[in-house]
Amino acid sequence: MKRMNYLLSVCLMVCLAVATNASAQNEQYKDLIVRMIKAGVTSNTASAENMKPAFIQMATEAVGKKHSEMNEAQKGALATELVERYMQKQAFEDMAVAMMPYFEKNISLENMKAYVEVAENERFQDVNKRMTAISETAAMELMPGIMAMAEGKTPETIAAAKCSDSYKKLFKNYYEKSSGDKIIDQLTTSISALMQQAKDAEKGAAMLNSMMNYLKNNFETIMLNGCIKGGITEDDLKYFVGITEMPAYSGAMAAVQEMLGDIMGFSMKLMGGFPTWLEGQEY
């Protein structure tokens, strides 16, 4: 009996040690995702900014229930203050928690550490900042064509800017390894699935596919033009190709595609952190 009790005690100690170690690793992994977000590797900082109007609406409703004596301007001011406090103190943590299942599935802890170290490097920060700005501009440049298609018109063809063959080849290599087309495909699939529930779903899906094809056929050209105009050098492109060859990069792209594949679930996770945080605040 004593031997059985001893074995049970040992098993419990082992289980506790494993659980403690797993918890520590989870916390470490979450911290790495927070660092990755802050380094600007993902677009989640921009996503959080885009969600601020919804957060302000939630906060305004909560403030209204708690402070009926306030006028609308006061409620709005306090709601905005609460959202800003959340963005500064908790938003990155909640984003990391929402992203973690997708990243843990595709990137080991050690590979994630190596990836974040590179992401925090000054060279990466400089080139990535410029490349992100080019991507954002490229998306805006595609809008006139998409709007024309929405009105039943044929969008104008986008011509590639002149550059050397070596530059074009390096850019092509970078673009293909950055999985841009795969992400567009996954986004199309996810939105199409959502549209199946809408009225005139068939017509809407056909329009969406046309728009996404336009996006896919022209985004590479616009990105090339942006890189040329934005001063992205051949050395910069070589550097980024090197980043795409890291084991964690392909894992990160797989994680992003899975997040897009679960776009509703992921969005709900992102949105869910704020009301939980708000309940614990004094205001």
Model pLDDT for residues 175-215, shown as the tens digit of each residue: 988 876 776 776 666 666 655 655 555 666 677 778 778 88
Instruction: Report the share of the chain in percent with pLDDT over 70.
Output: 81
Residue 78 has pLDDT above 50, yes or no: yes
Confidence of residue 8 (pLDDT cuts 50, 70, 90): very low
| Any domain includes 17 | no
Give yes or no for a contact between 223 and 175, defined as CB atoms under 8 angstroms apart: yes
Burial class (CB in 10 A: 0-12, 13-18, 19+), 144: exposed
Higher pLDDT residue, 180 or 64?
64
Cα 80 from Cα 235, distance rounded (Å): 43
| Any domain includes 5 | no
Tell me the mean pLDDT in the region 146-163: 87
| Any domain includes 3 | no
Least confident of 53-57, 63-67, 68-72, 252-256: 252-256
Q: What residues make up the domain containing 140? A: 32-279
Closest C-alpha to 197, from 151, 266, 264, 98: 264
> How many other CB atoms sit within 10 Å of the CB of residue 225?
20
| Any domain includes 14 | no
| Residue 215 parent element (H or E) | helix 201-229
Least confident of 71-75, 125-129, 187-191: 187-191
Cα 171 from Cα 240, distance rounded (Å): 10
Closest C-alpha to 186, from 216, 207, 141: 216
Higher pLDDT residue, 49 or 173?
173
| Any domain includes 238 | yes
Who's near 232: CB < 8 A, 6+ residues apart? 127, 130, 131, 134
Cα 255 from Cα 259, distance rounded (Å): 6
pLDDT in tens, 103-124: 999 999 999 999 999 999 999 9
| Any domain includes 20 | no
Number of separate domains in the chain? 1
| Any domain includes 227 | yes
Cα 150 from Cα 89, distance rounded (Å): 40
Cα 88 from Cα 147, distance rounded (Å): 36
| Any domain includes 180 | yes
Location of structure tokens 């990069």: 249
